Structure 1
Amino acid sequence: MAGNSDPLTPRAKLAVTAGKAVAAASRAAGRGSGSVIGGKVALRLDPDLLARLAQNLDVVLVSATNGKTTTTRLIAEALRAAGPVVSNALGANMPAGITSALAGGSDAKFGVIEVDEKYLAGVARDTDPKCIALLNLSRDQLDRAAETRMLAENWREGLAGSKAVVVANCDDPLVVWAASSSPNVIWVAAGQMWKDDAWSCPSCGGVMQRPGDDWFCGECGFRRPTPSWALSGDHVLDPHGSAWPIHLQLPGRANKANAASSAAVAAVFGVPPQVALERMYQVQAVAGRYDVVQFQNRDLRLLLAKNPAGWLETFSLIDPPPAPVILSVNARGADGTDTSWLWDVDYTRLTGHPIFVLGDRKLDLAVRLEVANQHFQVCENLDQAVQLCPPGRIEVIANYTAFQDLRRRVGN
């Protein structure tokens, strides 16, 4: 569409201008970035605005329960090798936030968009993506998102017959089932530490067999597809069998998996793996995640973990005992108000760490840690917890709004 440089109607332009004005007013009032309220106002004025803003872009959508904000950042960095990118890099991932982000990228060639799992099908309809990355599906916000198989069903129906190239994790049976309705799928072996949402077959309900890294349903024959890309240790294997080293500043196996999926997406747009992976090294922290900050003369590393699968991955990358660990859990609207997921997290992995507990739901967490036989202290706030921590870098793990509270307190 190179000849059509300005696809926006007068109404759409008015909607964009009004949205930006409202967002600026929200920022000036100290109420955050303003992207969500700005996007809501813009969409109210022009309900088709998201589709109009996307029509001149090559769009990539990224959806998952864990890792979508980081993977969106990695893909955006990789695609900048091929042209300007607009992205909702701060994680406002519902239609209003996405609209707001795209409204700010008038000269962009690529739109790299993180999408909340519940909204994927609708955003895909509006933005006509060239590529959709599906990383994982696990239990999260049980009061809002219902159970994972229903989300997989939404994805499967919403993506059926899509023209997009779907880059999907073949190690997650729910993702495979969701992606299998698409005619054009590239399978990536990105691994799956958390398996507790995929013991029964999403296709027939039979029991999954899991020999080694493989999986299949003994009853209906639904099975793991053969990947064309794979994470192998510290390398990405491409479809030709070449191994490309992963150099990241972000820690942990989960981020290597995110890089493998991101390299597969970049290749869809002609960016070679070596170039894509080199560019991903630029990403040091994502919306404060993994940042090491100084607070009360101590080093604190800020880690976000929102659900059982995320906590499991996070435990695998913290410093070994006796590194002190601060855990903070809230249950506000953005977190999901149901904290029963705490019982799905294996807190025995923290044995040997001095643990300090805070947040709105510190007592829920305390009961869970008591049952897991962990040594911990309940604290009123971050300041008190840091003062009580023994020497060493402090690992701070928090769920969504608790993480935002902590960032504000440390001035990050």
Structure 2
Amino acid sequence: MITFEEAIAAVLKKAGPLAPEAVRIEDAVGRALAEDVRSAVEMPPFVKSAVDGWALRAADLAKGRELRRRPGLIQAGENFQGRLRAGEGVKIMTGAPVPAGADAVMMVEFSAEKNGRVVFSRGIKRGENMARRGEDIRKGQVVLRRGTVIGPQHIAVLAAAGRARVRCGALPSVALVNTGGEIVPPGARRPKYGIYNSNGPMLSVLLGQDGVAAEPEIVRDEPRRLKAALARALKSDITVISGGVSMGDYDLVPGILKSLGVKKVFHNVRVRPGKPMFFGVKGRRLVFGVPGNPLANFLAYLAYIGPAIRKMSGRPDHGPEFRDGTCAVKFDPRTPRRAMMLSRVNVRAEHSLSPLDHSGSADILALAGARAFTAVPEGGAVKKGGKVKFLTWE
């Protein structure tokens, strides 16, 4: 049986990057760039005014404080016809192109109009209140590097650089299968001994946070139905199966996967929750078999499935990201396996961690009140004040 750390490494080793694809920049948030993005234009693409005011020659105000008012108003997006002559000033708005002949823009606050002339209360230096062509971005300049995970702030940069589409790492397709004759969708009529499907919607939302859409399919523990469902699922880049991987009479998944050509990488991990975890491959496709309890499903996504999705889509920050913390009290899981204990986190106290009491791996209320899994070493306890690693979803 392999360790938790060995299982994570084995998954990431098999999670190869997918071929990049071109996407609209509006659809690129959360995706990793598969190219260096160079600007198609200079920014700004012309000399523009940085303020509302008067375009003029700085040397004219060195001789006096009054200029002739040139008729007209230069607005953003408009072009000034002709050339500004000596002794003239023309009104200009923020973002408008500075006319030929002008070498400065005086803020309107320092001016007053009188009888076709403009009087200024101060002088000005050449270049003042003007944005030079290309001073922000040069044509051909790399504005975003390959591997950058696109956020809303990057969309403005891409748009300003003239890019409507960019090449990003492709997102893997994911099939999500929940096994068990007792499971029914939330809101459906529940048989007396049935339970609502909590793992499927939870995994579906977790997948959505990584940009992947997948609706859970519920399949009864019947060999023929289960084999047909898994055969369909294996057409996806990633198959996630919740339930059916332990040692019970109805835990049919490992055997069926083998018959469908899935090669086992590992089955059983020295960790709690999630010991019966299955991971296999079929070509470049990944297959995760997760024990049916909710805590194991949640941990499996944080530790294995989510990192694999992010790595396949080219994200350098694929994780899992373990952080450093301190035990606020003693952590004693009383198990020889690596224990991932549900915990509260006090971020104001240097990530001080406290374990949550719960009734077992199916305790979803405890999961709802937790903020992290604290990693307790195999076969041991950690005393108060001890240093530990923790895995959080916030």
TM-score (norm 1): 0.25
Rg comparison, structure with higher value: 2
Question: Which of the two has greater strand per residue?
Answer: 2
- Which protein has greater RCO, CA pairs closer than 8 Å, 6+ apart? 2
Question: Which of the two has greater helix per residue?
Answer: 1
TM-score (norm 2): 0.26
